[in-house]
Amino acid sequence: MFAEGGKSDRGDDFWLLRIDESICEDTEVKIYSSLSDNTAYVGKGFKLKALTRKGESFLWDFGDGTTSREREPVKQYEKPGVYEIKVTVFINENCSKTVAMDPYIMVW
User: 103: closest CA among 73, 83, 76, 75?
Assistant: 83
Please write the tens of the pLDDT for every residue from 32-55.
999 989 999 999 999 999 999 888
User: 48: closest CA among 57, 38, 56?
Assistant: 38
The boundaries of the domain holding residue 92 are 30-107
Q: How confident is the model at residue 27 (pLDDT cuts 50, 70, 90)?
A: confident
Looking up residue 90, the CATH number of its domain turns out to be 2.60.40.10
Residues in CB range of 44: below 8 A, 6 or more apart: 76
Neighbours of 20 (CB within 10 A): 7
The verdict on pTM exceeding 0.85 is no
Average pLDDT, the chain: 86
Beta-strand relationship, 30-33 and 86-92? unpaired
7 falls within a domain: no
The residue among 58 and 9 whose pLDDT is bigger is 58
90 falls within a domain: yes
| DSSP annotation of 104 | P
